[in-house]
Every structure is written in C-alpha cells, then in structure tokens.
Structure 1
C-alpha cells in the first residue's frame, strides 16, 4: 500500500511540484459520462452502511511478503532500488518484511478473527514471471493459489491487484514504463495469472496508483526505479493507460464474467490563493492527479487543459488508434484517500502546461497531523468521493485504501493503544457514510493496512497497520486497539 498514494511525504511534495495529485474541491461536474448519474442509497443515518457493504483491509506483496529470493522469484525494480545507498530510511530492505510469504495463513486467520469480508492483496509479477516475459514460475502461482484458497475457506473475498509497483528488473533494463512494449508485457502476465486463478477470483484490480509509480519513479526519482526524467514520466503515464486497456481485455478474454477495476490515489486540492493563476494550477493538478488514468479508460481521451493541446501527442508518444487501446469500461473504481494537497502556480515548470508546485500554507485545512506529517482532513474524503462519483457515474466504487501512520508501540501492559488511529478512521468513516447517503455508489472499504509493513522509501519508520509487527523479534503479530475497534465496526456495519 496502495499506494504510497498520498501515503508518503515524498509523494505529497513532488506530486504537487510536477503537476498534481488532487481533485480541486468543488470542481464542476460538467464532464460526467453522457446520460449517467450518481447512484447510491440515501437511506440510513450518518455512520450506518448499506446492507451487504464489504469491510476489509489492504496489503501489497512487496511490502509484506519478504522471501525476495525464494522459490524462483525474480528481481524487481524495488529489489534493485533498495540496494542503492541513501534511498531508503535506515538502509532498510524488504527481504523479510512481514514474512507473509511463509506466514500468510496466520495473516488470513487474523483477518477472519476481525470479521473481514474482503482482503486486498497484490500479486508480485517477478514471483510469477521472473523475467517479465517468457517462462512462468509455477511455484509463484502456487503460492497465490494457497493464499486465495485460504481466504475463500474463511469466507473472505479475495481482491488481488495485478500490479503494485514491482516491475521485473529485466523490463526496466529494456526501458521500463516509458517503453510501449511494457504495456503488452503486463497484459501477457495478467492473462497468465487470470488463466491460473480466475476460477477462484471474481474481481480484479489492474493497477495500484499508476500516478505514483510513473511520476515518482520516472520524474523525481524518489521511488523505484529512481529516474529523474520528466518527459519519460509523461510517456510512462501513457504506456500505463495503454496497459490498462490491454489488461482489461486480457482478463475479459479469459474470464468474461469477471469484474475489472483499477485503484487510483485521489485527494482534494487547496490553491495557495484565490488568484486566477493559482486556481488554474489547482485545476490542472486535479485533472493530472485524479483523472489522468480514469478518463482514458472510460472515455478514450485525456482530460483537456493539462498539457498544451498542440504538443500533447508528442509529449505522450500518442499514436493513431491509442484512444481505442486505452478504452476500458471498468466494472468498478478503486479510490485511495489519505489527505489533501496544497498547490500554487509555478512559472518555471519543467514541463509546459504543468505549472504547479507545492507550498506550505499559513492557514491549513487542519492543524492536526498524522505521525507522517499529513493533514488530517476527513471532510476531504466526502468531497473527493462525491466528486469522483460525479465523473464515473453509476460505476460502483470501492475504497481500496484509507488509513494513517501512527508509530506508537506496545505499552508496559503489552497492548498497543493507538487511540489516534481510531479517531482518524472513525472521522473518515463518518464522512464516507455521508457520501454514500448522498448518493455515492460505494460498496466496500479497505483499511490501509492490515499489518505494519515496509513503507517504501520510508523503510520501517511509518506504521499504518491494525496489527503491530515486531520487526526486531521474528515478525511477531500483535493486534492494536484499532483492530478490536474495527472488528466492532464490521460486526455492526456502522461506526461505533
């Protein structure tokens, strides 16, 4: 997790600098899909959720599995990146992480004890296809069969993400996401996985936060593969959109009845001032951050007003027919929400049209922050879910990530008393229930994360889990107070 999506300070900093990670609060909903309207159930009180609503938690393979050189798994760009001095806090790596490759049954049992009905996990491409193409590693597929079967046996819906940032290193050596061939490689890998596991799994997530792995990985170099090439990053966004369409069709070809979606990081954006320039910058950021991977799938084109129209095709490497390749009538939309963004106009932008940068406001939307330093803005959850529903219409929404880093450890009594996490989650769930009551078609919520884990460039310094993991003492699991509280939410299907 995931993302991180608005989970990482470096993302918050750079997404703003390059051109957006957020939806401008109160953005006009003028570009809804033709003939579509927001659908939801207005019944029930604030804090109550619809009958059949799914509750769960999310994880990501690289962040929890460990076993990076076990059973034929190949090298990913993150394996390569963590070996570069100075990239990861504490020089940490994910060679063991939560050791979930070996302890997956324990983690599934935890989810069952908490009453979870859905578990979002990711499938590691290099564990299934070590070179990113060609030979399939059956031991990798067998692991995901065991994990999926364990979930089904405990009555938990499996919700796998096909790509959560772990590109096989050989594909990066060949150019990575800026190269169009990577899109076809992902589609081939997806077909392998769905052919093998599609008899067990009904819903699939294609991407986790494509904005993050393209922009942070290829423009700023603060995520793997660590490249600082803004124009390559723009091309990577286009290749990811091509891949999204190709993977959608690959899944449907294998399992026509499967539901297919993607998970996007989203957030409301706050302009520095009421000036026309800052508001225009915020609107560009809205489109680039929140809609850049949604519009191509649902509409076959990019949102207007981000890149100069006369140069857009050149900057993206767009070819005739790409509009049809990108198109994918997704069956559901995943949204990851953590906080808001602050932006202002930047006349010195590296890429024409993306003239935005971050700033430190004198007046923030909230004076409360998580231990990661992110503003706590529950109302932004209502705003962004409502706004995105306006763009996606009747398509069901799943909250694929929402949570906060609080780094408290066990107390003298042996418990982890994370009252601030409970307060964060409670406030956000109240806003989510309000959005549903007002028509947003949300059908599921996944807390980020089930476990404390390897938090990308932050190493093990930020803890998002409901379950405390003792990384110094054999990865022992210890439920936090928030886990018990969340179990009550699930049992009563309402905020308590």
Structure 2
C-alpha cells in the first residue's frame, strides 16, 4: 500500500521560528521582534533573536534535509527582512539570503514551497495601523511582487498566508500572540477582510509576474470536528460543526476565511450574525479575494471538540494520549479534515503542517529516540492514506517541523522537530523519527503500515 505517484513528501518551518539574525544585514523589526523584547509575553522571557541560527546555518540544514530524503521544503519569507519598513526600500542582502536558500535546496534535489507570510508582520507597518489600515493589502501586494520577481524563476509553489485564524485570532482577538491585542469584533472583521484582500492581490501578483508557471494556494488551519460514530447523522453533524461560525470565535472559524476565497462570499450566517459589524466591502473586493487558487493548504494537528469546564472535552477522556502541547492524539482528524474540506471546496488538499511536540533529548548513546512521534506519524498518515483511498485528492504532506524551533508564546520548551537542536550550541541531531520519515519517503508511504520499525 502506497500513496499515489508524485505525492509530495516534505517538511516545513517558519522564518521567525528558525532564522535568528533578527537585526543583521539590514533586516527590520517584526511585531514578534519588537514585542518579545518587552518580556512578559513568552515563556521564560525567550525570543527569536537567535532561534536556530538558520540564517547562518542554512547550508548545513539543507544537507540534513537531504540526509533525511526530504523532497519538498515549505519555508516562509520574513517580510521585514526583505523590506525593513514593510514598504519602500528593499533590503538586497535579505532578499539574497532567500535566493541562496532556494538555490541550495534545488542543488540538493529539494523543491521549495514558499509561504509569503507566517506571522512576522513588519513593526513599522504595525505602527501605521497594520492590518486595520486600508492600505494594508496594497502593502502586501508590493511585498509579494518583490519576492516573486526575485524567486519565481526557480520557485513554482506559492502560499500567500499561514493560518490567518491564528495570527488574527490569537494576535488581535485573545492577545496570546504578537502584537498581543484584544480588539472588538468590528475591528476583527475589518482586519479579516483586509487580510483576505491581501491574499487576493498577492495571488494576482503571482499569476501576473511569476516567471515559472505558478501553483498557488494558502496554508490555513481548520476546526476539524470528527463524527462520534459512522452514522450518516453523526457525519453530517461533524461536517456542520466544522464549517459553522460564531460571533465569539469568528476569527478561528474555517468558513469565515475559506468561503470568500473559494466560494466568492462570506457565509450567509456572517451577515446575519454581525450586522453592522461586517467589514466594509467595496465593489470588486469579493472578486479580488476569490482569485482562482490551485490547492487548499491546511494545517491539522487534532480534532476539535466542545470544551467541558468540569471534565473532558469531547475529543478527550481519562488518560487519553496527549502531545507535549497537551493536544489529544486524534489521528482521525487527518481523514475527516481533508474529506470535509475537499467535499466543500473541491480543491486538491495539501497537508501543509502536521506533527507533534514531544519530550525529546539527546540520550547517553548520542541519539534522540522518539518512538511516540514515530507512532503518531504512522497513525495520522494511515488516516490520510484512507482519505486518498476514498477519493480525496491529497497532493502531499509537510511534516511540522523540520527542526526544533521557537514555538511562539511557548518559547523553546516544545519540540516538534525531526531534528533536535541544542539551543546552547546549535548542534543538530537527526531524531529516530527523522530516519523513520526517510523510510516513509523512500517507500512512498509503505513504511507507515509496518507495526515495528528498526532504525
């Protein structure tokens, strides 16, 4: 049993989480750079100033990916590294870093997948109103063109935005992530609209200016509810919940973001629910937002469930398996999530993130043994394979993450990587899971069906 030919096997990372060099070679500050210097926002007062020092060690990291047999690498571009003030003068040294990284990947047989924005918003633009500024989408389009002009002769796969549900929801609704704000629903709706316009304008820029025929999408996360049983009624209820929207959780709801892009308008319930708090929609906005895309990229880690303040959420139970993040291990999410998304939006599905944080350390034999992660990958990938056998068009799977890195508000405690990073010395050690993933890639998925694995 194997995945289809041409299935894309890869890994992923984000610029702020791995690069470091936060103020080198002309780079401007992002909101993460600025606000983590204050302290009080991140575990242990940590920040991404150095992170994994990928900016200086990218050639070593690409060689490590090659050793693991990685075929695709999803990376993100730091907007303020390329345009320090967010708009205007381009930082050629910053742009050259990404050009060199792309060249290094291609020289080692690894296809780059470029994400234009993975949360590190330019601080200079934030001070000018950020995503609430009516010019926000034009700023993003300007930035997109700079990157496309520089890299599109070698890069074919593009993603505009990573998880707007999170950078808007956690950054502006609940104040957990930079810039750590809590805004009213009216502002959140307008930010969402400006973010969606940014996506649409960036897609137009990519289509119009790419030198190599582009394949374009995004990388969203999705509230994936899974059925309580296999009955048609339970399946339909899970589907309904997966695409429902609520005023209190608006920014986190999948349909709020994906419906305008793929279906051409906000959900009908949004207009009824928000009323005067709906964003200002100018003539032509929805046409711009709904530029044709080639795939639906989605980050899936767990199923979603109603919380129970006096007990367990619906997807948990006494003693259930959990990752280091505290998330229940729910492999079925990688079946039902792609299935529901494909049936609603009819776009090929790319798993742009899936993985687990675990308690990993270099053991006395000098190796990192992480059997839980191997088991996790087997369970989730078996469910993804089941989806492909049921006719769901799945393009590929990008494991999150290629290496341990700065995990946002959790600092460096949570380790998602296939490669262990000693943050004090920057030494890299491929974990057992990295070698297991090499076998998965080599066998086009066949390795996940073995109940044992000898590294």
Matching of residue 322 in structure 1 with residue 285 in structure 2: yes
Residue 443 of structure 1: CA displacement?
1.4
Structure-1-length-normalised TM-score: 0.83
User: Which residue of 393, 414, 420 maps to 2:366?
Assistant: 414
Match of 1:264 among 211, 214, 220: 220
Partner of 1:427: 379
Match of 1:209 in 2: 163
- Show structure 1 runs of 5+ residues with no match: 1-44, 345-356
- Aligned-pair distance for 1:416? 0.9
| 1:235–1:316 contact (8 Å) kept in structure 2 | yes
Tell me, in whole angstroms, the C-alpha distance in 1 between the residues paired with 2:403 and 2:239. Answer: 39
Post-superposition offset of 1:179: 2.0
Which residue of structure 2 aligns with residue 466 of structure 1? Answer: 418
- Report 1:217-366 matches (<5 A): 217-231=171-185, 232-255=187-210, 257-269=213-225, 283-284=244-245, 289-308=253-272, 311=275, 314-343=277-306, 360-361=311-312, 364-365=315-316
Structure 2 equivalent of residue 390 of structure 1: 343
Change over 3 Å in CA distance of 1:134–1:408 after alignment to 2:
same
Q: What's the secondary structure of 2:357's corresponding residue?
A: coil
Secondary structure, in 3 states, of the residue corresponding to 1:177?
helix
Cα separation, partners in 2 of 1:320 and 1:370, compared to 1, 3 Å: same
Aligned twin of 1:37: none
Is contact 1:194–1:254 with CA below 8 Å preserved after alignment? Answer: yes
**1:144 offset after TM fit, Å?**
0.5
Contact map agreement 2:303 2:315 (CA 8 A) in 1: no
Aligned length: 433
Deviation at 1:87, TM superposition (A): 0.4
Q: Deviations over 1:148-170 (max 9, x none)?
A: 00011111101010000111101
- RMSD of aligned alpha carbons: 2.4
CA change 1:75–1:363 in 2 (3 A) is: closer
Q: Residue 309 of structure 1: CA displacement?
A: 5.4
What is the distance in 1 between the residues matched to 2:12 and 2:6?
A: 19
Q: Residue 400 of structure 2 corresponds to which residue in structure 1?
A: 448
Q: Which structure is higher in RCO with an 8 Å CA cutoff and minimum separation 6?
A: 1
Q: Evaluate the alpha carbon distance shift between residue 281 and residue 384 of structure 1 in structure 2; reply closer, same or farther with a 3 A threshold.
A: closer
1:51 Cα deviation from its structure 2 partner: 1.2
SS state at 1:284 partner: coil
For 1:159 and 1:119, locate their aligned partners in 2 and report how far apart those are by CA, in whole Å.
Answer: 6
CA positional deviation for 1:230 = 3.1
Inter-partner Cα distance in structure 1 for 2:191 and 2:310: 26
Runs ≥4 in structure 1, deviation > 4 angstroms?
A: 277-282, 285-288, 357-360
CA distance in 1, matches of 2:3, 2:61: 26
Secondary structure of the corresponding residue to residue 468 of structure 1? strand
**TM-score normalised by length of structure 2:** 0.90
State the Cα deviation string for residues 29-48 of structure 1 (Å, max 9, x = none). xxxxxxxxxxxxxxxx4xx2
SS of corresponding position for 1:269 = coil
